[in-house]
Amino acid sequence: MKKTLFSLKRPMLILFFLIASSLLNQRLSAIAPPEMELNTGHVKQGGLLIVQINLEDLPFIAEQLTISFNDRHYPLRRNESGQYQTMIGISYWLKPGNQHLSLIQGEKIINTAQFEIIAGNFKNSYLYVEASLEKIIRPRDPQTEKRKKHESALIKKARGKSVPEKLWADNFSWPLAGKITTGFGATRYVNDQLQSRHSGIDIAAPTGTEITASNHGVVVLAADLLVTGKTIIIDHGYEVFSSYSHLNSLNVAVGDKIQKGQIIGRCGSTGFSTGPHLHWTITVGGVYVNPTDLISSF
């Protein structure tokens, strides 16, 4: 008797779920797909794109959604006001022109949004240095080459894992008051030979000037490195990191929890540097973005 009841119950249960899921699918298809709202329709090379999605009607699908851009998927994260957001760093290597984002549910594109990448109008920066300094960035011996590679890997590893929550609050702040000597994205030539783009902002200040954290976070690197000298990297959560290079002294250690405005070190000229200054960078999802975008975005 029990067995019969069971065998009767199971098909009914399956039928119930089939009806329920088809009703749910009908409801989903009746609702327009969520729209992506962008903080700007025209983002500069090296700029920050913030995408917001209103999921008031469909909060239960947030986990199934990602935003795809340039062959990469970005997860949605819920902010304090209950909105779902993602931040996309637009690399300074991407060419100006029209671009689009795709909103993906599972494997299916359910909506798209257009935006334009506009020219960063980056300046040229010419540095002339002595051979002893040049060989730091253009090693001529295997030991220096090996150390440079090892330290690049350390930096990459430090930014490889981020706290899965937002540690920062409100706008980022300038870590130091001083004169900007090289802007973000500048095309850098060293001894008339093309080097790279300038990944951050150089701020000149006297040796010993206090350097403060741009926002709350956790120290993931505090070390004396060949190229960037005494360097600090802070994880602000959600794959946002700030870095502070060429310091004279380090006041913090790996694992330290840092408050916005806290003194983390002092300005110097260590590593590949021609005078006391701070090289300040911010990366979002592994992409260098213009730090000034985080001073004005939140």
Residue placing its CB nearer to Zn ion in the complex, 33 or 271: 271
Toward Zn ion, which CB reaches closer, 40 or 181? 181
Rounded least distance, CB 186 to Zn ion, Å? 9
Torsion sign over Cα 262, 160, 289, 225? positive
CB contact at 8 A, 226 and 232: no
Handedness of CA 245, 197, 118, 70 (dihedral sign): negative
When the beta carbons of 167 and 211 are compared against Zn ion, the nearer one is 211
Q: Residue 262 has which token pair? A: 């806290």
x/- mask, Zn ion, residues 198-227, rule CB under 5 A, reads ----x-------------------------
What gap in Å lies between CA 54 and CA 61, rounded to an integer? 11
Instruction: For the CB of residue 200, give the shortest distance to Zn ion in the complex, in Å.
Output: 6
Name the residue nearer to Zn ion (CB basis): 230 or 279: 279
Binding-residue pattern over the window 145 to 184 for Zn ion, x denoting contact by CB under 5 A: ----------------------------------------
Q: Is 236 in the site for Zn ion (CB under 5 A)?
A: no
**Helix and strand tally (H, E) in the chain?**
4, 23
**Listed residue (189, 209, 188, 206) closest to 197, CA to CA:** 188
- Residue 246 binds to Zn ion (criterion: CB under 5 A): no
- What is the x/- site pattern for Zn ion, positions 262-281, by CB under 5 A? -----------------x--
Question: Is 282 buried (19+), middle (13-18) or exposed (0-12) by CB count in 10 A?
Answer: buried
- Residue ranges binding Zn ion (CB under 5 A): 202, 279
